[in-house]
Amino acid sequence: MPVNIAYETKIEHISILDEHGNFDASMGEGLIPNDDLVAMYKHMMTCRHLDEIAFKLQRSGRMGTYPENRGQEVPSLAAAYVLEKKDWLVTCYRENAGLFWRGLPMEKVLLHWMGDERGNHIDECNVTPLAIAIGSQMLHATGLAWSSKYKKDGAIACTFFGDGATSEGDFHEAANFAANLDLPVVFVCQNNGWAISTPTKLECSAPTVAQRGIAYGMDCVQVDGNDMFAMVKVVRDAVKNARENNRPTFIEALTYRLGDHTTADDASRYRNVEELEMWEKRDPMIRLRKYLEKLGLWSQEQEDEHLKVAAQTVSEVVKRAEGIDAPSATEFFDSMYTDMPKQLKLQRQTMRTSSLGQDPSQIPVQIPATEGTVQ
């Protein structure tokens, strides 16, 4: 019998504005209005300043471990720009730019890293709390998309994760459900080259991480994740596919974290200087600023002026985060159950684990003291 090709495919790489300032007008013209571009650049400046201040808060002992977002602002911001209010933004922990554009108060993120549970109480917009467990958020996004399809409310879910998360079982389960059940979800893999200290080449031997989506029958694309125009285009296409066809899309966004994995990390121990310098030249903010300057939409005077605005904004955010009233001890119990068990109600009322021992079977056997033993 002849040998036939069972399946063939290709994965496109999308780039519109590269690090050298080359702009593909055939793809990017009219994609983002100039006023929106300026607003997005200002927003990124503010997010960068928050990163700087958050780093100082951690180093001065005023906040716990913090993951810098510097260098990875574009993917989540592009998604937040494209999504509608009814859609869900389901993130991990390096998507501040998208979360804040979406409407999440900036102090919520600081409170989260300060260990205050109120940082996870989100009522302002359709975003989920930061997901620290690697990969779990992809399952949440798939569930939200499934719910939207069931309710026929027209909403979709867009979730973010790193290259390392595609090695987690959670990714494969979420992708399998999303594709097999035709769910309106967009998977955005932010491939920054490192899963903490493990390089992507050890996580995935394939030429692209996007290929992992093909196995589940998803549409897949690779994109320059530091290119605002390209990210907006691919997310817009994926959102359209989700909304109109109830089909998931896997987007591999090539980007880079310019800082350490978190403030508990030292990337210089596993990352060489040449690599960092190369990616610093691809900084998404520098790229976008050069483009705006070329169009006469930005100047050094505007840069200096907005730096002052960003500093003032972040200063007020820190004051709100640090000035919040101390939580009551009972709040420890309040977010655990819809209907709290009576044992926990008793603990909350008395602030004692007095429910223990009320069951006779829990009372330890009393052994009489004997000479030479300690009772």
Distance CA 248, CA 361 (A): 53
Count of the separate structural domains present in the chain: 2
| Co-location of 254 and 108 in the same domain | yes
Q: Which two three-digit tokens encode residue 325?
A: 């009233």
pLDDT tens figures, 56-79: 999 999 999 999 999 999 999 999
pLDDT for the residue numbered 374: 42
> Which letter does DSSP use for residue 267 in this model?
G
**Residue 86, in any domain of the structure:** yes
Cβ atoms within 10 A of the Cβ of 303, count? Answer: 14
Are 371 and 270 contained in the same domain?
A: no
**Are 317 and 336 in the same domain?**
no
- Point out the residues that are catalytic: 257, 261, 270
Does pTM surpass 0.85? yes
Q: Answer whether residue 372 shows pLDDT above 50.
A: no
Question: Residue 375 has what pLDDT?
Answer: 41
Question: Would you state the structure tokens that stand for residue 233, as one six-digit string?
Answer: 């285009």
265: helix, strand or coil: coil
Whether residue 2 lies inside any domain: the answer is no
Is the pLDDT at 373 greater than 70, yes or no?
no
Residue-level pLDDT at 362? 52
Domain-ending residue, one of 281, 296, 322? 322
91-125: per-residue pLDDT in tens?
999 999 999 999 999 999 999 999 998 999 998 89
- The pLDDT tens digits of the residues spanning 2-34 come to 899 999 999 999 999 999 889 999 999 999 999
SS3 at position 220: strand
> What three-state secondary structure class fits 330?
coil
Gap between the Cα atoms of 310 and 304, Å rounded: 10
Say whether both 271 and 339 belong to one domain. no
The answer to whether 158 and 87 are in contact (CB under 8 A) is: yes
Which residue has better confidence, 251 or 332? 251
**Are the C-beta atoms of 200 and 209 separated by less than 8 Å?**
yes
Is 5 contained in some domain?
no
CB-based burial label for 196 (10 Å; 0-12, 13-18, 19+): middle
pLDDT digits (tens, 9 = 90+) for 231-263: 999 999 999 999 999 999 999 999 999 999 999
Residue range of the domain that includes 354: 329-375
* 188: three-class secondary structure by DSSP: strand
Q: Provide the pLDDT confidence category of residue 199 given band limits of 50, 70 and 90.
A: very high
- Contact criterion met (CB below 8 Å) for 97 and 281: no
